[in-house]
Protein backbone atom coordinates (compact mmCIF):
# COMPACT_ATOMS: atom_id res chain seq x y z
CA UNK A 1 0.00 0.00 0.00
CA UNK A 2 1.29 3.43 -0.97
CA UNK A 3 0.73 4.97 2.48
CA UNK A 4 1.63 1.86 4.46
CA UNK A 5 3.52 3.89 7.09
CA UNK A 6 0.52 6.10 7.85
CA UNK A 7 -0.66 4.41 11.03
CA UNK A 8 -2.09 5.83 14.20
CA UNK A 9 -0.34 3.02 16.07
CA UNK A 10 2.96 4.69 15.20
CA UNK A 11 1.85 8.26 15.90
CA UNK A 12 4.06 11.21 15.12
CA UNK A 13 3.25 14.60 16.55
CA UNK A 14 3.14 17.29 13.85
CA UNK A 15 3.61 14.71 11.09
CA UNK A 16 2.36 17.30 8.59
CA UNK A 17 2.61 21.06 9.01
CA UNK A 18 1.23 23.42 6.37
CA UNK A 19 1.64 27.03 7.39
CA UNK A 20 0.12 27.41 10.85
CA UNK A 21 -1.75 24.08 10.78
CA UNK A 22 -0.17 20.88 12.11
CA UNK A 23 -1.57 17.36 12.11
CA UNK A 24 -0.31 14.32 13.94
CA UNK A 25 -0.41 10.99 12.15
CA UNK A 26 -3.53 9.94 14.01
CA UNK A 27 -5.27 13.24 13.27
CA UNK A 28 -4.39 13.00 9.58
CA UNK A 29 -5.56 9.39 9.45
CA UNK A 30 -8.85 10.34 11.13
CA UNK A 31 -9.55 13.33 8.89
CA UNK A 32 -8.48 11.53 5.71
CA UNK A 33 -10.62 8.54 6.69
CA UNK A 34 -13.65 10.78 7.16
CA UNK A 35 -12.96 12.42 3.79
CA UNK A 36 -12.73 8.95 2.21
CA UNK A 37 -16.08 8.01 3.76
CA UNK A 38 -17.68 11.03 2.08
CA UNK A 39 -16.51 10.27 -1.46
CA UNK A 40 -19.77 9.51 -3.31
CA UNK A 41 -18.52 7.00 -5.90
CA UNK A 42 -15.44 5.59 -7.60
CA UNK A 43 -14.30 9.03 -8.73
CA UNK A 44 -12.00 10.47 -9.82
CA UNK A 45 -12.06 13.31 -7.29
CA UNK A 46 -10.77 16.70 -8.38
CA UNK A 47 -8.91 18.49 -5.57
CA UNK A 48 -8.47 22.25 -5.55
CA UNK A 49 -4.80 21.88 -4.72
CA UNK A 50 -4.07 24.96 -2.63
CA UNK A 51 -1.09 25.02 -0.27
CA UNK A 52 -3.18 23.88 2.68
CA UNK A 53 -3.71 21.04 5.11
CA UNK A 54 -7.11 20.52 3.45
CA UNK A 55 -5.33 19.50 0.25
CA UNK A 56 -3.15 16.99 2.11
CA UNK A 57 -6.23 15.53 3.83
CA UNK A 58 -8.18 15.26 0.57
CA UNK A 59 -5.34 13.64 -1.39
CA UNK A 60 -4.62 11.22 1.45
CA UNK A 61 -8.32 10.40 1.76
CA UNK A 62 -8.58 9.55 -1.93
CA UNK A 63 -5.53 7.29 -1.74
CA UNK A 64 -6.90 5.51 1.33
CA UNK A 65 -10.22 4.95 -0.46
CA UNK A 66 -8.57 3.74 -3.65
CA UNK A 67 -10.17 6.56 -5.65
CA UNK A 68 -8.07 8.39 -8.27
CA UNK A 69 -7.20 11.95 -7.31
CA UNK A 70 -6.84 14.81 -9.80
CA UNK A 71 -4.91 17.77 -8.32
CA UNK A 72 -6.15 20.99 -9.95
CA UNK A 73 -3.86 24.05 -9.83
CA UNK A 74 -5.59 26.79 -7.84
CA UNK A 75 -4.52 29.39 -10.40
CA UNK A 76 -5.86 27.44 -13.38
CA UNK A 77 -8.02 29.49 -15.69
CA UNK A 78 -11.58 28.43 -16.60
CA UNK A 79 -10.52 26.87 -19.93
CA UNK A 80 -7.69 24.79 -18.44
CA UNK A 81 -9.76 23.76 -15.41
CA UNK A 82 -12.70 22.82 -17.61
CA UNK A 83 -10.49 20.67 -19.83
CA UNK A 84 -9.01 18.83 -16.84
CA UNK A 85 -12.44 18.11 -15.35
CA UNK A 86 -13.93 16.92 -18.65
CA UNK A 87 -10.92 14.85 -19.68
CA UNK A 88 -10.47 13.20 -16.27
CA UNK A 89 -14.17 12.44 -15.87
CA UNK A 90 -14.05 13.76 -12.31
CA UNK A 91 -17.27 13.06 -10.42
CA UNK A 92 -16.67 15.12 -7.27
CA UNK A 93 -14.79 18.20 -6.12
CA UNK A 94 -12.84 19.02 -2.97
CA UNK A 95 -12.03 22.50 -1.73
CA UNK A 96 -13.22 25.98 -2.57
CA UNK A 97 -15.49 25.83 -5.62
CA UNK A 98 -14.52 28.25 -8.41
CA UNK A 99 -17.10 29.69 -10.79
CA UNK A 100 -18.06 27.23 -13.48
CA UNK A 101 -17.42 24.08 -11.44
CA UNK A 102 -20.69 22.19 -11.04
CA UNK A 103 -19.45 18.94 -9.50
CA UNK A 104 -20.80 17.86 -6.11
CA UNK A 105 -18.48 18.73 -3.28
CA UNK A 106 -17.13 15.95 -1.06
CA UNK A 107 -18.60 16.18 2.43
CA UNK A 108 -16.57 14.21 5.02
CA UNK A 109 -18.48 11.44 6.75
CA UNK A 110 -19.15 11.34 10.51
CA UNK A 111 -16.80 8.39 11.00
CA UNK A 112 -13.57 7.46 9.28
CA UNK A 113 -13.47 4.83 6.59
CA UNK A 114 -11.14 2.06 7.70
CA UNK A 115 -8.22 1.59 5.30
CA UNK A 116 -8.77 -1.43 3.08
CA UNK A 117 -7.03 -3.27 0.29
CA UNK A 118 -6.25 -1.03 -2.69
CA UNK A 119 -5.23 -2.41 -6.07
CA UNK A 120 -1.62 -1.21 -6.45
CA UNK A 121 -1.90 -1.30 -10.24
CA UNK A 122 -4.96 0.95 -10.37
CA UNK A 123 -4.54 4.64 -11.17
CA UNK A 124 -3.93 6.49 -7.91
CA UNK A 125 -3.27 9.92 -9.35
CA UNK A 126 -3.95 11.79 -12.57
CA UNK A 127 -1.42 14.58 -13.08
CA UNK A 128 -1.91 16.88 -16.05
CA UNK A 129 1.20 17.84 -17.97
CA UNK A 130 1.73 21.28 -19.44
CA UNK A 131 3.23 20.98 -22.86
CA UNK A 132 4.21 23.97 -24.95
CA UNK A 133 1.44 23.14 -27.41
CA UNK A 134 -1.95 21.48 -27.18
CA UNK A 135 -4.19 20.76 -24.22
CA UNK A 136 -2.64 19.22 -21.09
CA UNK A 137 -2.49 15.42 -21.02
CA UNK A 138 -3.46 13.34 -18.01
CA UNK A 139 -0.58 11.09 -16.91
CA UNK A 140 -1.89 8.04 -15.05
CA UNK A 141 0.28 7.05 -12.07
CA UNK A 142 -0.50 3.85 -10.20
CA UNK A 143 0.02 3.39 -6.50
CA UNK A 144 2.79 0.90 -7.25
CA UNK A 145 4.67 3.28 -9.55
CA UNK A 146 4.52 6.10 -6.99
CA UNK A 147 5.57 3.81 -4.14
CA UNK A 148 8.43 2.32 -6.16
CA UNK A 149 9.71 5.74 -7.16
CA UNK A 150 9.58 7.03 -3.59
CA UNK A 151 11.35 3.95 -2.22
CA UNK A 152 14.14 4.43 -4.76
CA UNK A 153 14.63 8.03 -3.66
CA UNK A 154 14.60 7.04 -0.01
CA UNK A 155 17.57 4.77 -0.73
CA UNK A 156 19.46 7.31 -2.85
CA UNK A 157 18.92 10.17 -0.43
CA UNK A 158 19.26 8.17 2.80
CA UNK A 159 15.73 9.33 3.68
CA UNK A 160 14.51 7.96 7.03
CA UNK A 161 11.75 8.58 9.62
CA UNK A 162 14.26 10.71 11.52
CA UNK A 163 14.19 13.36 8.78
CA UNK A 164 12.11 16.50 8.49
CA UNK A 165 11.39 17.66 4.95
CA UNK A 166 10.69 21.34 4.26
CA UNK A 167 9.55 23.00 1.06
CA UNK A 168 7.12 25.57 -0.29
CA UNK A 169 6.43 24.03 -3.69
CA UNK A 170 2.99 23.64 -5.34
CA UNK A 171 0.86 20.71 -4.24
CA UNK A 172 -0.23 19.74 -7.74
CA UNK A 173 3.09 18.54 -9.18
CA UNK A 174 5.39 15.56 -8.64
CA UNK A 175 8.01 17.63 -6.81
CA UNK A 176 5.84 19.27 -4.17
CA UNK A 177 2.98 16.80 -3.76
CA UNK A 178 4.36 13.34 -4.46
CA UNK A 179 7.96 13.81 -3.30
CA UNK A 180 7.44 16.39 -0.61
CA UNK A 181 4.20 15.18 0.98
CA UNK A 182 3.53 11.58 -0.05
CA UNK A 183 7.22 10.73 0.18
CA UNK A 184 7.29 11.94 3.77
CA UNK A 185 4.14 10.02 4.65
CA UNK A 186 5.51 6.84 3.09
CA UNK A 187 8.94 7.09 4.70
CA UNK A 188 7.50 8.19 8.03
CA UNK A 189 9.33 11.51 8.26
CA UNK A 190 7.87 14.88 9.16
CA UNK A 191 7.04 17.40 6.44
CA UNK A 192 6.80 21.17 6.81
CA UNK A 193 5.17 23.07 3.96
CA UNK A 194 6.04 26.75 4.17
CA UNK A 195 3.03 27.76 1.97
CA UNK A 196 5.29 30.20 0.14
CA UNK A 197 8.92 29.37 -0.73
CA UNK A 198 10.33 32.38 1.06
CA UNK A 199 13.90 32.27 2.42
CA UNK A 200 12.93 33.25 5.97
CA UNK A 201 10.31 30.49 6.10
CA UNK A 202 12.80 27.92 4.88
CA UNK A 203 15.28 29.11 7.48
CA UNK A 204 12.69 28.82 10.26
CA UNK A 205 11.65 25.27 9.34
CA UNK A 206 14.59 23.59 11.06
CA UNK A 207 14.54 20.70 8.59
CA UNK A 208 17.10 18.08 7.64
CA UNK A 209 16.02 17.99 3.97
CA UNK A 210 14.98 20.95 1.83
CA UNK A 211 13.36 20.77 -1.61
CA UNK A 212 13.50 23.69 -4.02
CA UNK A 213 13.66 24.75 -7.65
CA UNK A 214 16.34 27.10 -9.02
CA UNK A 215 14.11 30.15 -8.47
CA UNK A 216 13.77 29.23 -4.80
CA UNK A 217 17.49 28.66 -4.35
CA UNK A 218 18.23 31.97 -6.06
CA UNK A 219 15.96 33.74 -3.58
CA UNK A 220 17.60 31.95 -0.67
CA UNK A 221 21.16 32.90 -1.59
CA UNK A 222 20.01 36.51 -2.01
CA UNK A 223 19.39 36.47 1.75
CA UNK A 224 22.67 35.08 3.13
CA UNK A 225 21.47 34.82 6.72
CA UNK A 226 18.58 32.58 5.66
CA UNK A 227 20.91 30.52 3.50
CA UNK A 228 23.36 30.00 6.36
CA UNK A 229 20.47 28.85 8.55
CA UNK A 230 20.15 25.80 6.28
CA UNK A 231 23.68 24.75 7.18
CA UNK A 232 22.37 22.23 9.69
CA UNK A 233 20.47 20.29 7.05
CA UNK A 234 21.95 17.15 5.56
CA UNK A 235 20.39 17.39 2.08
CA UNK A 236 19.44 20.28 -0.21
CA UNK A 237 17.61 19.07 -3.31
CA UNK A 238 17.13 21.05 -6.51
CA UNK A 239 15.02 19.97 -9.45
CA UNK A 240 12.32 20.79 -12.03
CA UNK A 241 14.75 22.97 -14.01
CA UNK A 242 18.53 23.23 -14.55
CA UNK A 243 20.47 24.82 -11.70
CA UNK A 244 23.05 27.34 -13.01
CA UNK A 245 26.59 26.47 -11.98
CA UNK A 246 27.13 29.82 -10.26
CA UNK A 247 24.00 29.30 -8.17
CA UNK A 248 25.17 25.77 -7.30
CA UNK A 249 28.42 27.26 -6.00
CA UNK A 250 26.64 30.03 -4.07
CA UNK A 251 24.37 27.52 -2.31
CA UNK A 252 27.38 25.38 -1.44
CA UNK A 253 29.38 28.33 -0.13
CA UNK A 254 26.60 29.70 2.09
CA UNK A 255 25.22 26.41 3.45
CA UNK A 256 28.38 24.36 3.61
CA UNK A 257 27.17 21.66 1.24
CA UNK A 258 26.58 21.25 -2.47
CA UNK A 259 22.98 20.70 -3.55
CA UNK A 260 21.75 17.40 -4.91
CA UNK A 261 20.39 17.71 -8.45
CA UNK A 262 17.93 15.22 -9.88
CA UNK A 263 15.86 14.65 -13.02
CA UNK A 264 12.40 13.35 -13.69
CA UNK A 265 9.09 13.99 -15.40
CA UNK A 266 5.43 13.70 -14.52
CA UNK A 267 5.37 10.49 -16.56
CA UNK A 268 8.48 8.94 -15.03
CA UNK A 269 8.80 10.14 -11.44
CA UNK A 270 12.49 10.72 -10.58
CA UNK A 271 14.77 8.50 -12.61
CA UNK A 272 18.15 10.23 -12.17
CA UNK A 273 19.72 11.76 -9.09
CA UNK A 274 22.99 12.45 -7.37
CA UNK A 275 23.33 10.37 -4.20
CA UNK A 276 23.42 11.79 -0.70
CA UNK A 277 26.64 9.86 -0.10
CA UNK A 278 28.08 10.38 -3.57
CA UNK A 279 29.37 12.98 -5.98
CA UNK A 280 27.45 16.22 -6.51
CA UNK A 281 28.49 17.96 -9.71
CA UNK A 282 27.14 21.32 -10.89
CA UNK A 283 24.86 20.94 -13.90
CA UNK A 284 24.73 17.13 -13.74
CA UNK A 285 21.72 15.13 -12.54
CA UNK A 286 23.54 11.99 -11.48
CA UNK A 287 22.92 8.30 -11.92
CA UNK A 288 19.80 6.17 -12.45
CA UNK A 289 17.94 5.53 -9.19
CA UNK A 290 17.44 1.88 -8.15
CA UNK A 291 15.15 0.14 -10.63
CA UNK A 292 15.51 2.78 -13.35
CA UNK A 293 17.45 2.36 -16.58
CA UNK A 294 18.51 4.94 -19.15
CA UNK A 295 19.85 4.92 -22.65
CA UNK A 296 20.92 7.60 -25.13
CA UNK A 297 19.67 7.11 -28.66
CA UNK A 298 21.11 8.73 -31.79
CA UNK A 299 19.18 11.32 -33.74
CA UNK A 300 16.81 10.00 -36.38
CA UNK A 301 19.23 10.85 -39.19
CA UNK A 302 22.21 9.21 -37.48
CA UNK A 303 23.36 5.64 -36.90
CA UNK A 304 25.55 4.03 -34.28
CA UNK A 305 25.70 4.21 -30.51
CA UNK A 306 26.00 7.48 -28.62
CA UNK A 307 29.36 7.40 -26.81
CA UNK A 308 29.56 7.98 -23.06
CA UNK A 309 32.04 10.81 -23.46
CA UNK A 310 30.22 13.52 -21.50
CA UNK A 311 29.84 15.61 -24.65
CA UNK A 312 27.95 13.78 -27.40
CA UNK A 313 24.22 14.49 -27.29
CA UNK A 314 21.66 11.71 -27.43
CA UNK A 315 17.90 11.36 -27.04
CA UNK A 316 17.21 10.25 -23.48
CA UNK A 317 14.98 7.23 -22.97
CA UNK A 318 14.15 5.68 -19.59
CA UNK A 319 12.36 2.67 -18.22
CA UNK A 320 11.53 1.26 -14.81
CA UNK A 321 8.67 0.34 -12.47
CA UNK A 322 8.13 4.00 -11.48
CA UNK A 323 6.89 4.99 -14.94
CA UNK A 324 3.29 5.96 -15.64
CA UNK A 325 0.81 3.62 -17.31
CA UNK A 326 -0.14 5.95 -20.16
CA UNK A 327 -2.02 9.14 -21.01
CA UNK A 328 -5.73 9.06 -20.20
CA UNK A 329 -7.85 8.99 -23.36
CA UNK A 330 -4.74 9.51 -25.52
CA UNK A 331 -3.73 6.13 -26.98
CA UNK A 332 -1.93 7.82 -29.88
CA UNK A 333 0.15 10.00 -27.55
CA UNK A 334 0.88 7.00 -25.34
CA UNK A 335 2.04 4.96 -28.34
CA UNK A 336 4.14 7.85 -29.64
CA UNK A 337 5.96 8.16 -26.31
CA UNK A 338 6.83 4.46 -26.25
CA UNK A 339 10.01 3.10 -27.79
CA UNK A 340 8.99 -0.50 -27.11
CA UNK A 341 10.04 -2.97 -24.45
CA UNK A 342 9.11 -0.56 -21.67
CA UNK A 343 11.28 2.33 -22.87
CA UNK A 344 9.80 5.83 -22.64
CA UNK A 345 10.87 8.63 -24.95
CA UNK A 346 11.40 11.57 -22.63
CA UNK A 347 11.84 14.09 -25.43
CA UNK A 348 14.90 15.40 -23.59
CA UNK A 349 18.46 15.57 -24.85
CA UNK A 350 21.30 14.47 -22.60
CA UNK A 351 24.96 13.53 -22.44
CA UNK A 352 26.45 10.80 -20.27
CA UNK A 353 30.02 10.37 -19.10
CA UNK A 354 32.04 7.21 -18.61
CA UNK A 355 30.96 6.99 -14.97
CA UNK A 356 27.26 7.05 -15.88
CA UNK A 357 26.60 10.65 -14.79
CA UNK A 358 23.97 12.47 -16.88
CA UNK A 359 23.58 16.08 -17.92
CA UNK A 360 20.35 17.34 -19.53
CA UNK A 361 20.93 19.79 -22.37
CA UNK A 362 17.38 20.58 -23.53
CA UNK A 363 14.25 19.36 -25.29
CA UNK A 364 14.59 17.59 -28.62
CA UNK A 365 11.60 19.42 -30.13
CA UNK A 366 12.84 22.93 -29.37
CA UNK A 367 16.38 22.76 -27.99
CA UNK A 368 18.43 20.76 -30.50
CA UNK A 369 20.31 23.17 -32.75
CA UNK A 370 22.20 21.91 -35.82
CA UNK A 371 24.80 24.54 -36.64
CA UNK A 372 27.80 24.13 -38.93
CA UNK A 373 27.64 20.35 -38.68
CA UNK A 374 27.52 20.38 -34.88
CA UNK A 375 24.63 19.37 -32.64
CA UNK A 376 24.18 21.78 -29.74
CA UNK A 377 21.72 21.63 -26.85
CA UNK A 378 20.36 25.10 -26.21
CA UNK A 379 19.89 24.35 -22.50
CA UNK A 380 23.65 24.10 -22.10
CA UNK A 381 24.14 27.55 -23.61
CA UNK A 382 21.28 29.01 -21.54
CA UNK A 383 22.83 27.71 -18.31
CA UNK A 384 26.07 29.54 -19.06
CA UNK A 385 24.28 32.75 -20.04
CA UNK A 386 22.30 32.71 -16.79
CA UNK A 387 25.59 32.72 -14.92
CA UNK A 388 26.34 36.20 -16.28
CA UNK A 389 25.22 39.06 -14.00
CA UNK A 390 23.73 41.00 -16.95
CA UNK A 391 21.21 38.21 -17.71
CA UNK A 392 17.91 37.88 -15.85
CA UNK A 393 16.27 35.43 -18.25
CA UNK A 394 17.19 33.93 -21.58
CA UNK A 395 16.10 31.53 -24.29
CA UNK A 396 18.43 30.15 -26.96
CA UNK A 397 17.10 28.98 -30.33
CA UNK A 398 18.39 28.00 -33.73
CA UNK A 399 17.26 30.27 -36.57
CA UNK A 400 17.71 29.49 -40.29
CA UNK A 401 21.10 30.43 -41.71
CA UNK A 402 22.20 29.94 -45.35
CA UNK A 403 25.75 29.05 -44.34
CA UNK A 404 25.45 27.26 -40.99
CA UNK A 405 22.04 25.67 -41.47
CA UNK A 406 21.04 27.18 -38.15
CA UNK A 407 22.70 29.99 -36.23
CA UNK A 408 22.55 30.17 -32.46
CA UNK A 409 20.54 33.18 -31.31
CA UNK A 410 20.06 34.16 -27.67
CA UNK A 411 16.99 36.12 -26.61
CA UNK A 412 17.91 37.88 -23.37
CA UNK A 413 16.00 39.76 -20.72
CA UNK A 414 18.68 41.84 -19.06
CA UNK A 415 21.19 44.61 -19.47
CA UNK A 416 21.06 45.82 -23.05
CA UNK A 417 24.32 46.57 -24.82
CA UNK A 418 26.16 43.58 -23.40
CA UNK A 419 25.70 41.31 -26.42
CA UNK A 420 29.38 40.99 -27.34
CA UNK A 421 30.31 40.35 -23.72
CA UNK A 422 27.69 37.59 -23.47
CA UNK A 423 28.97 35.93 -26.63
CA UNK A 424 32.51 36.00 -25.26
CA UNK A 425 31.27 34.68 -21.92
CA UNK A 426 29.76 31.61 -23.57
CA UNK A 427 32.83 31.08 -25.75
CA UNK A 428 35.03 31.13 -22.65
CA UNK A 429 32.97 28.44 -20.92
CA UNK A 430 31.94 26.13 -23.77
CA UNK A 431 33.29 25.02 -27.12
CA UNK A 432 33.72 27.89 -29.59
CA UNK A 433 31.01 26.53 -31.93
CA UNK A 434 28.43 26.71 -29.10
CA UNK A 435 28.62 30.49 -28.74
CA UNK A 436 25.60 32.58 -29.86
CA UNK A 437 26.13 34.28 -33.18
CA UNK A 438 23.58 36.92 -32.17
CA UNK A 439 22.07 38.28 -28.95
CA UNK A 440 18.66 39.96 -29.02
CA UNK A 441 17.42 41.85 -26.00
CA UNK A 442 13.70 41.62 -25.21
CA UNK A 443 11.45 42.94 -22.45
CA UNK A 444 10.00 39.50 -21.73
CA UNK A 445 10.02 35.93 -23.04
CA UNK A 446 6.78 34.42 -24.40
CA UNK A 447 5.37 31.90 -21.95
CA UNK A 448 2.37 29.58 -21.77
CA UNK A 449 -0.10 29.68 -18.83
CA UNK A 450 2.16 27.31 -16.84
CA UNK A 451 5.15 29.62 -17.25
CA UNK A 452 7.10 27.57 -19.78
CA UNK A 453 8.93 29.54 -22.46
CA UNK A 454 7.36 29.09 -25.91
CA UNK A 455 10.44 29.02 -28.09
CA UNK A 456 8.44 28.47 -31.26
CA UNK A 457 7.30 32.08 -30.97
CA UNK A 458 10.93 33.24 -31.13
CA UNK A 459 11.26 32.73 -34.83
CA UNK A 460 12.44 35.99 -36.27
Whether the per-residue pLDDT at 50 is higher than 90: the answer is yes
Is the domain of 348 the same as that of 388? Answer: no
Q: Does the structure show a pLDDT above 60 at 7?
A: no
What's the rounded Cα separation, in Å, for the pair 103 and 110?
21
Same domain? 353 vs 383:
no
Q: What is the CATH number of the domain that holds 385?
A: 3.30.300.30
Same domain for 388 and 355? no
pLDDT band at 450 (very low <50, low <70, confident <90, very high): low
pLDDT, position 447: 82
Least confident stretch, 291-300, 361-370, 383-392 = 361-370
Do residue 37 and residue 98 come from a single domain? yes
Do 417 and 309 sit in the same domain of this protein? no
Q: Indicate if 376 and 355 belong to the same structural domain.
A: no
Same domain, residue pair 359 and 398: no
Q: Which of 365, 397, 418 is the last residue of a domain?
A: 365
Check which CATH number belongs to the domain holding 167 and give it: 3.40.50.12780
Read off the pLDDT band of 244 (50, 70, 90). confident
- Residue finishing a domain among 365, 395, 430: 365
For residue 10, is pLDDT > 60?
no
Which of 365, 390, 420 delimits the end of a domain?
365
Once rounded to an integer, what is the mean pLDDT over residues 213-224? 92
Q: Is there a single domain that holds both residue 298 and residue 205? A: yes
Question: Do 356 and 377 fall within a single domain?
Answer: no
Rounded alpha-carbon distances, angstroms, from residue 340 to 232, 307, 334, 349: 45, 22, 11, 19
Give 374's pLDDT tier (boundaries 50, 70, 90): confident
pLDDT of residue 115: 79
Q: What is the mean pLDDT of residues 229-238?
A: 96
Q: Do 354 and 393 belong to one domain?
A: no
Q: What pLDDT, in 10s, does the model give residues 86-112? A: 999 999 999 999 988 999 999 999 999
- Do residue 318 and residue 433 come from a single domain? no
Kindly report the length of the chain: 460
What pLDDT is stored for residue 293 in this prediction?
A: 97
Domains identified in the chain, total number: 2
Q: 147: pLDDT confidence band, cut at 50, 70 and 90?
A: very high
Q: What is the mean pLDDT of the chain?
A: 91
pLDDT value at residue 8: 52
Let me know whether 83 and 126 are in one domain.
yes
Domain residues for the domain of 176 are 1-365
Amino acid sequence: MLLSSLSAADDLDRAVTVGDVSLSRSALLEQAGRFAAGIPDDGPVAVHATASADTVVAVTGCLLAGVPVVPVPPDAGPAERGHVLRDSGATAWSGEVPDGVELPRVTPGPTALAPGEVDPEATAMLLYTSGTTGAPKGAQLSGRSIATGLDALAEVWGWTPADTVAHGLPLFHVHGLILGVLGSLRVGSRVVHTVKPQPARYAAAGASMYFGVPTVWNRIVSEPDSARALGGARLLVSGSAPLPASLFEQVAALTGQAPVERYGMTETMITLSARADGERRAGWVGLPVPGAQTRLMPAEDEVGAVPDDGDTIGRLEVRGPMLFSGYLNRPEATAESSAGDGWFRTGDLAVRDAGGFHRIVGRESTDLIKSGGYRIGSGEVEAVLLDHPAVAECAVVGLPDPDLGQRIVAFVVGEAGTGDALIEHVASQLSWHKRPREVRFVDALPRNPMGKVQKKLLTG
